[in-house]
Structure 1
Amino acid sequence: MISQEDFFAISSKKEFEKITLKVFRYQYENNKVYQAFCNHLGKNPSNVKQINTIPFLPIQFFKSETIVSNSNQVQAIFTSSGTTGAITSQHFVTDVSIYEKSYTLAFTQFYGNIQEYCVLALLPSYLEREGSSLIYMVNDLIAKSNHKDSGFYLNNLEQLANKIIELENEGQNILLIGVTYALLDLIEYKKFNLKNTIIMETGGMKGKRKEIIREELHQTLCEGFGVNTIHSEYGMTELLSQAYSLGNGIFECPLWMDVLIRDTEDALQYVENGKSGGINVIDLANINSCSFIATQDLGKKHHNMTFEVLGRFDNSDIRGCNLMVY
């Protein structure tokens, strides 16, 4: 059995590769859906010896199958957002503590101690439905911040604007995390000149506004909030880890997560760094479901292990991830 300590303590590429192959063997043996998928491709632990030969399960399987790698009791079911009547993904989580540890360690890696921030959340479309993994994470970060003013704001833009100004005047570090269209609503209501605030957009217009390219979006948000960069979070219902961008749409993964870019014409081949293709995600925190997910996102990887999200495949569903049309 693989423990949390195995993958959360990863400190080198070699270690990551070793544990990733170990996770593959474990999930092949214990995840019947994934095993059947691998067998269909003629892949199994006897002929998978490198990361780039591991089969990646198409994300659509989370809509039709129960993707689990053990028989433990399900503690939470995270569901994706979708248009009315659309079939949504379900992520059956048998150990929520792994998710909590994943986002807590990742936040610390990229931003430091959560208690140094007041966390303000502007996530109306997520709050208005049940089963959002993002709401679960942000709610816990709000609690962990231990700041009296941390909290969610639904559509009360005036109250939020006044609170941001008040906290700014106090010199308080702020993390404002918001869905894209709501952040645009806020700066249309009021223009800011922020010094102590990180603006983190989670992507998505949710049908409220026309999709726009990231460069235009971030420029608009920078001007409206009076900041130099816009941060982003790349996560999805089917994962238990997030990548973060500290600006310019360049994402970096925590040490137990990585992305590979597959050829759009041949899903079993990979393109070289700098070329665009489909994003495959390795998320070792997904030990109890599937750690190898072929997403419907388009992206490209850089030589320094960072990556960009360039949009989505044609005809793919609009889901609750950080997706914009480029």
Structure 2
Amino acid sequence: MSLTPAASELVEAVLAFIGQDGCSDAEFDALALRLFAFQHANNEAFRRFCQRRGATPRTVKSWREIPAVPISAFKEVTLSSLPAAQAQRVFMTSGTTRKEVKGRHYHPSIAVYDRSMTKNFGARFMAGAERLPMAILFPGEQDLPNSSLAHYLALAVAHCGSEDSHVFVTPEGMDSAGLRAWLRARAAEGRPCAVLGASYAFVHLVDELRRAGESFHLPAGSRILDTGGYKGQARELPLEDFYVGLQDAFGVPRERCINMYGMTELSTQLYDDGNVLVPSVKSGPHWIRSRLLDPLTGREVAQGQRGVLAHCDLGNFNSVTTILTEDVGVGVATGGVLLLGRAEGAEAKGCSLAVEEFLRANAP
């Protein structure tokens, strides 16, 4: 789509901010408040929610004060500051809880998502490595054009993969024979490689390798990226069992088994630094900040206490920067968040009440 002059300036500012090596608290606040003013003025559903909270560009003075929109709101209303019909890309959620209703995230300029992904991925997963042969355990973009994960993995191959990278999953299933031959070839030639995909795909693959009595010792420097979640497509494993299985199947040390935490409703991902100990601490780049909230009160919890994660992602220039998830975690003194799983009990009730408040604000 053709961006308005104001939106074009904002996109350039976000791209420049992502391109920096870091930022001060004041710099983060300045861009967060600029984005808040833009979204408050142009995103009707968000503005109604803010009005209910008494939050305006005059009263909000910090990124911490921007109202956090419940993640389920992406399924209920159109959260877009620019015309949704003209978006370059629309990513949709998988619809695992309400299969008939999918959340939609509109990207008028996919360049922002792409810059966010590639810079962060290069720093956290590649960690200085040159291009690697990549095996992708997830369908490609041609099969899932509305999947943010398919686009994410396509970017990984385009920017960091070598020519012998390959997608081994289609909507019909995994080409396990082809994948196993690919892994044998990488092990035989001694070239480091990477295997990336959804966690449930790794469960199926590891089970199959065990049944076949086959395992690999991939060359030093090889690494694995799993994206978490099972979405009902595989048996769920305790984290310890999952990462023991990866190490046994591929011969990749657990410090090089990286978990990516992301979601359709965000434009930025969080990573850990390996899974020697689980659960692992996740952290993001300088253009996303997270806080832990009591969903019943909306207030931040004290350091070391459980809370529901809220992210302020400056890559979300068009939708809403600040999202209340349904994930529970604990902040750690060194920075980052220890993820503990999905909200349950009182925390889940608090998330539901936040959704009800948003819907009341947008009732006809």
Structure 1 residues 312 and 128: alpha-carbon distance in aligned structure 2, compared to 1, 3 A threshold: farther
Residue 256 of structure 1: CA displacement? 0.6
1:121 pairs with 2:136:
yes
2:29 is equivalent to residue 17 of structure 1: yes
- Of 155, 161, 166, the match for 1:151: 166
**Relative to structure 1, is the Cα distance of residues 57 and 114 closer, same or farther in structure 2, using a 3 angstrom cutoff?**
farther
Aligned residue for 1:102, secondary structure, equals helix
1:257 pairs with one of 288, 291, 300: 288
1:47 and 2:59 correspond: yes
Partner of residue 88, structure 2? 75
CA-to-aligned-CA distance 1:286-315 (integer Å, 9 cap, x gap):
101111111111112212221122111239
Report the 3-state secondary structure (helix = DSSP H, G, I; strand = E; otherwise coil) of the residue aligned with 1:233.
Answer: strand
* C-alpha distance in 2 between matches for 1:114 and 1:136: 21
Of stretches 295-304 and 136-145 in structure 1, the one that deviates more from structure 2 is 136-145
Cα shift readout 1:38-61 (whole Å, capped 9, x = no counterpart): 111111122211222211111111
Moved more, 283-292 or 69-78: 69-78
Shift in CA distance, 214/13, structure 1 to aligned 2, threshold 3 Å: farther
CA distances 1:17-44 after superposition (whole Å, capped 9, x unpaired)? 3322222222222221111111111111
Does the CA contact (< 8 Å) of 2:303 and 2:332 recur in 1?
A: yes
Match of 2:122 in 1: 108
Q: Please identify, of 130-139 and 20-29, the stretch whose mean Cα deviation from structure 2 is larger.
A: 20-29
Q: Distance in 2 between matches of 1:115 and 1:122?
A: 21
**Do the aligned partners of residues 215 and 21 (structure 1) sit closer, same or farther apart at CA in structure 2, a change above 3 Å counting?**
farther
Q: Does the CA contact (< 8 Å) of 1:103 and 1:242 recur in 2?
A: yes
Once the two structures are aligned, what percentage of the paired residues are identical? 29
User: 3-state SS of the aligned residue for 2:315?
Assistant: helix
Q: Which stretch has the larger CA shift, 17-26 or 271-280?
A: 17-26
**Structure 2 CA distance, aligned partners of 1:69 and 1:125?**
29
Name 2:18's counterpart in structure 1. Answer: 8
Larger radius of gyration: 2
| 1:292 corresponds to | 322
* Corresponding residue pairs, total: 315
Rounded to whole Å, the distance in 2 between the matches of 1:174 and 1:310 is 30
Q: Distance in 1 between matches of 2:238 and 2:54?
A: 40
**What 5-or-longer segments of structure 2 have no aligned partner?**
1-8, 349-364
For 1:184, which of 198, 203, 211 is the aligned residue? Answer: 203
Residue identity opposite 2:291 in structure 1: L
TM-score by length of 1: 0.88
User: How large is the RMSD of aligned CA atoms in angstroms?
Assistant: 2.3
Equivalent residue for 1:233?
A: 260
1:212 is displaced (CA, Å) by: 2.9
The structure carrying a bigger helix percent of its residues is 2
Runs of 5+ unmatched residues, structure 1: 317-326
CA distance 1:143–1:126, shift in 2 (3 Å) = closer
Query: What's the CA shift for 1:124?
Result: 4.9
- Contact residue 122 and residue 160 of structure 2 kept, 8 A: no
Q: Residues 117 and 145 of structure 1 are in contact (CA less than 8 Å); yes or no, is this contact kept in structure 2? A: yes
